[in-house]
Amino acid sequence: MKRLIIILSFGAIAVLPALASASTVHGCRYPPNTSNLGPRNDREMIGYGVSVRNMSCSAALRAISNGYLVENGSPLHTRGFRCSVITKRYASGGRFILGATIRCVSGPRAFRFSWAP
């Protein structure tokens, strides 16, 4: 029994670091000068809170700036990614959107960002 526990313990120690490194998530610094970094139809969009998984920060910022914001359906159309709204922030009264958090996925790669008009 002790031998089985020891073997399982060493197995877990060997597997956990591999699982942790398989999906690397990290935050990105959004450049302070955000002009021309927003989507094509709203270059002045204020973006913040960018994080990426299995891709570089510059690739995520490029995907955002090459995309288009849309009102219905997917919130951002950008080549190669499927995007969805995670959360929306409304003005009091609930009629006007003040911002949203959007997540885009392409296989193992993903990025998330928040925006405000």
Q: Where are the domains of the chain?
A: 24-116
Examine the pLDDT at 114 and tell me if it is beyond 60: yes
The pLDDT tens digits for 46-68 are 777 889 999 999 999 899 889 98
Residue (of 88, 95, 91) closest to 115 by Cα position: 88
Whole-angstrom distance, CA of residue 16 vs CA of residue 19: 5
Mean pLDDT of 23-38: 73
pLDDT, residue 98, reads: 74
State which amino acid sits at residue 82. R
